[in-house]
């Protein structure tokens, strides 16, 4: 990977990491409802899950999904139902001080979600197709791509979780919290529209 390609790829990866999407919307809601510390397993789960997704992409996942688009449609449909469940969890979340049963999304759930997140799959497939040309170049570029993706994902996820944490005082008011959670649940569903419309 040339220096120009590296800079271009880094900008692409950072843009993908910080723009609104299912992961970032869920992190903002988790930061607001549970604080940054309790959201850390969610953040780490995203970073680990996405890192392994990039590795899988380099090993041929992207080619497989391109050759079998019906499987990708199945993944998107499964993701839709999973996101409906997560949107329900966010929309009905209550203050953890009020409900002892209220828990943030856990590490394994966040890691698993990366493998069915249409935005993540699309980013991985398009980046490998755009920034590598041959099988040899994939093997040469993959370690660096994984490193950059995990780094920018850590930055993006932390920023969104902190954003949610910063508005937690405003959300101490129960009405504000309910309105915020319902809004986040709605935005999570809206973030899935491109994938839904392409089914």
Reading the chain (199 residues) residue by residue, the pLDDT tens digits are 677 778 888 888 888 888 878 888 899 989 988 999 999 999 999 999 999 999 988 887 666 766 776 776 776 677 677 777 777 777 776 555 444 556 888 999 999 999 888 778 878 877 877 777 655 566 777 889 999 999 999 999 999 999 999 988 777 777 887 888 788 778 777 766 665 565 5
pLDDT score recorded for residue 136: 56
Q: Which residues of 73-95 are buried (b: 16+ CB within 10 A; e: fewer)?
A: eebbeebbebbeebbebbbebee
Q: How far is CA 90 from CA 30, 38, 103, 196, in A?
A: 8, 15, 10, 20
Task: Kindly state whether residue 14 falls inside one of the protein's structural domains.
Answer: no
Task: Kindly state whether residue 2 falls inside one of the protein's structural domains.
Answer: no
CB 22 within 8 A of CB 49: no
pLDDT score recorded for residue 195: 57
Into how many domains does the chain fold? 1
Domain that holds residue 72: 21-93+103-197
Task: Kindly state whether residue 158 falls inside one of the protein's structural domains.
Answer: yes
pLDDT score recorded for residue 99: 47
Does the predicted TM-score (pTM) go above 0.75? yes
Task: Kindly state whether residue 114 falls inside one of the protein's structural domains.
Answer: yes
Task: Kindly state whether residue 38 falls inside one of the protein's structural domains.
Answer: yes
Task: Kindly state whether residue 16 falls inside one of the protein's structural domains.
Answer: no
pLDDT score recorded for residue 149: 94
* 95 torsion bin: left (phi>0), alpha (psi -120 to 50), beta (else): beta
Task: Kindly state whether residue 12 falls inside one of the protein's structural domains.
Answer: no
pLDDT score recorded for residue 98: 43
Residue 140 CB contacts under 8 Å (≥ 6 apart), including other chains? 1
pLDDT score recorded for residue 57: 84
């Amino acid at each position: 990977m040339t220096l120009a390609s590296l800079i271009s790829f880094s900008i692409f990866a950072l843009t993908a990491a910080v723009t609104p999407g299912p992961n970032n919307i869920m992190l903002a809601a988790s930061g607001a409802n549970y604080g940054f510390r309790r959201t850390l397993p969610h953040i780490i789960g995203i970073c680990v899950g996405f890192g392994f997704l990039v590795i899988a992409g380099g090993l041929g996942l992207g080619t497989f999904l391109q050759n079998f688009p019906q499987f990708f449609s199945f993944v998107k449909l499964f993701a839709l139902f999973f996101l409906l469940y997560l949107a329900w969890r966010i929309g009905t979340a209550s203050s953890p001080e009020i409900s002892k049963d209220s828990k943030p999304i856990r590490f394994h759930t966040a890691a698993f979600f990366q493998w069915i997140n249409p935005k993540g799959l699309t980013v991985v497939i398009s980046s490998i197709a755009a920034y590598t040309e041959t099988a040899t170049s994939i093997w040469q570029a993959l370690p660096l791509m994984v490193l950059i993706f995990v780094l920018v994902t850590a930055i993006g996820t932390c920023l969104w979780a902190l954003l949610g944490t910063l508005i937690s005082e405003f959300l101490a008011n129960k009405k504000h919290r309910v309105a915020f959670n319902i809004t986040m649940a709605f935005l999570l569903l809206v973030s899935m529209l491109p994938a839904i419309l392409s089914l």
